[in-house]
Amino acid sequence: MADIIDFGRIILVVSGALSIAILVRVVAGRVGLPTAALLLTVAAVASDLSDRLATLLSFEDVQRVATLALIAILFDGGMTIGVRRFRTAAVPITILGVIGTFLTAPLVAVAAHYLLGFNWTVSLLIGAALAPTDPAVTFSVLAGKEVEGRSGTILEGESGFNDPVGIALMIGMIQLATVSDASITDVEVEFLREMGIGLAVGAVAGFVLLQSLRRFPLPDRSLYPLAVVLAAGVIYGVTAISHGSGFLAVFVAGIVIGDAEFPRRIEIRHFTSALADLGELAVFVALGLTIDLGFILSGSIWWQGLVLAVVLGFVVRPLVVTPLLLPSRLARGERLFVTWAGLKGAVPILLASLAVVGGTEQAPQIYGIVFVVVLFSVVVQGTLVPHVAQRLGVPMVEADP
């Protein structure tokens, strides 16, 4: 009987928290703030007010929640882009997702070292955590909006492609920081293996999934959304145990089937979209509960995070994105829009949690600084995305359902 009551309590807490998160999302929409900003803040304040909430989830638990959420978000994001849209912006997406991430990390590290006084190991860990943009925030901010031209596709594609790059980079940096005989070559080999396997498995699995949906009808139409979501989980799992990037694989598989014709396509899209929304709510609540606001506000972490946020948003991002986008022949306003809307979110915090679990030097400080940068990005940059688009002449209109 006690086990039933305890399990009921867990269901009550989780369901209640996510119900409150939906309410927060409604409020965020009405006040014009990205959902991530309010969810992170509310969850962080709640964990500071309640010791039980602060210890409810371990960093390992948060990583598992974030992984499940990102599988849903990236798969749905890939389906939103589809093959036709991806082809129009494949080159800038790949360049920003891979080269842009690798250039951002060392530039942020230089700022952390010379402006904030961190040693090179800690600075490089901060740089690796803050290098990728975030699909949860990007897809959320652009949800229901259609950005004319290629800039919207570039932003969505970049946020999907640079997550695997950032994760591989962060794992490599943690290995360099904690293993005495690790080398840069190990990081390069790990990166190439993860990206290569992830890309190959995603493309093949997406094709197989598409043909299966077309050729093997299911007895009940309600099974189609479940079968597709379960297939995304299988794709991630197979890729992960093959030492590839599961996140890249599900994103690519989503792109492959995104705009193709197959049975019950509309029902599947509605289901994956709802699951991605649930994943967004869950991941930001979980991440917010791990934040110790007292620790951040009592010392120098808050202003160090603000310094890096400003440098990253107004110096590093333009320095990296502007030259990389020049060959793409985008209008000046579109290039500036892509530069501004490179938002940070769940993925940088997830990467910082890897540093905590890995036992790296000054891990709590790294985690706190990344949180401040993310909060600045979603509140300031995310809130102003529609206004910046308007000022730069980038049409951003309500999407046709």
Number of domain units in the chain: 1
Render pLDDT for 276-317 as a digit per residue (tens, 0 to 9): 988 888 888 888 888 888 889 888 999 999 999 999 999 999
Which CATH number is 279's domain given? Answer: 1.20.1530.20
Q: Is residue 168 situated within a structural domain?
A: yes
Q: Is residue 383 situated within a structural domain?
A: yes
State the angle between helix axes of 346-357 and 363-376 in degrees (0 to 180), rounded to the nearest 10: 180
Whether residue 400 has pLDDT greater than 60: no
Instruction: Please give the Cα distance from 12 to 285 (Å, whole number).
Output: 15
Q: Is residue 314 situated within a structural domain?
A: yes
Render pLDDT for 198-208 as a digit per residue (tens, 0 to 9): 999 999 999 99
Render pLDDT for 19-59 as a digit per residue (tens, 0 to 9): 887 887 788 777 777 888 888 888 888 888 887 777 778 88
Q: Is residue 401 situated within a structural domain?
A: no
In 19-46, which positions are buried (b, 16+ CB within 10 angstroms) versus exposed (e)?
ebbeebbeebeeeebbbbbbbbbbbbeb
What spatial distance separates the first Cα and last Cα of the chain, rounded to whole Å? 48
What would the two tokens of residue 215 be? 């050729």
Q: What is the pTM of this model?
A: 0.90
Q: Name the residue range of residue 88's domain.
A: 2-396
